[in-house]
Structure 1
Amino acid sequence: MYVLDDINRDLLDLLQTDGRMSFKELGDRIGLTAPAVAERVRKLEDAGVIKGYRAVVDYEALGFPILSIVRVKAPIAGRAVDEKIAALPNVIEANRVTGSDSHVIRARLRTTRDIEDLLADVWEDGETITNLVTSSPVPRRPMNLKATNAGRAS
């Protein structure tokens, strides 16, 4: 586990909210110079704590209003199932899970017909349970690292 000090925790909380913030702006917010922030960010990247930077896309604005959560019960879970799911272009996240299901998939779709196609692609002879998200009272968000004491040595 990578141990974080309070400054790195604050830095990560800010970057999770706005990954495009300049080193100067970050430094102004946490009381460091831009070069000091750059060095801390580089170390966090090198350690694998920061895995990348990406845009948050509004899929509804692009014509994909349906968020579907599909629970899959594959007769045999393994690499072949993982690869099959990974190849589906509408899948935005897939996880192997414990319990009676083998995977949970999140997919963005245009129509209910697309749901049928997705289910046919996911597993021809397995079981699926599909939920459609009607609203997201807590949309995907960054975890507050300071409040959770993330990265503290025990």
Structure 2
Amino acid sequence: MKTITPYKWEINNNKYHFVTDNFCVYDIVFEYSEKFFDEYCTSCKDIFEMTINCLSHDCPVYDSRAGLTVCKIVEEVLSESCNGIMYRIYDGDGKQERREMRFDRWIELYDSEDKIDQLSQEFCEEECDKYFLLVDKGCKNYPVVVHDFNYRCKECEESGDMIQYGE
């Protein structure tokens, strides 16, 4: 089996930047989500929101090194901060399900040390938005991060309807 390596990345103020072999440019930004937490959990400051932006328009659909690079960046952020990482998959073009499956596959393939838990749930007001959480299983504040992510959906926690990946 061929061993792949992540692309090299640069970091500038919680913004990670890398370029693929096909000259596709990616920015991954980590910031506290004031919008989400103002609305759902005003005291939650232990979760970053991650945004992955492909700044190029004609990138190949599948690039295993890009997936590996994203996962290694996520691992680095989780291990250095012990914060959770929340993300929402873009759904404006009808490709949300494929993106979700691809990201799940990246975690399955590239979290070789099984350090990351992945959880998800829907938050509904007028419309439902599905959010995901990545959290380092070995961090001391793991229970706090998971609690803060689930804060909005106490009835989900109590009924057991919360979707959880991992252990």
TM-score (norm 1): 0.27
Task: With the length of structure 2 as denominator, give the TM-score of the two structures.
Answer: 0.25
Bigger Rg over Cα: 1
Structure having the higher strand fraction is 2
Structure showing greater relative contact order (alpha-carbon pairs closer than 8 Å, 6 or more residues apart): 1
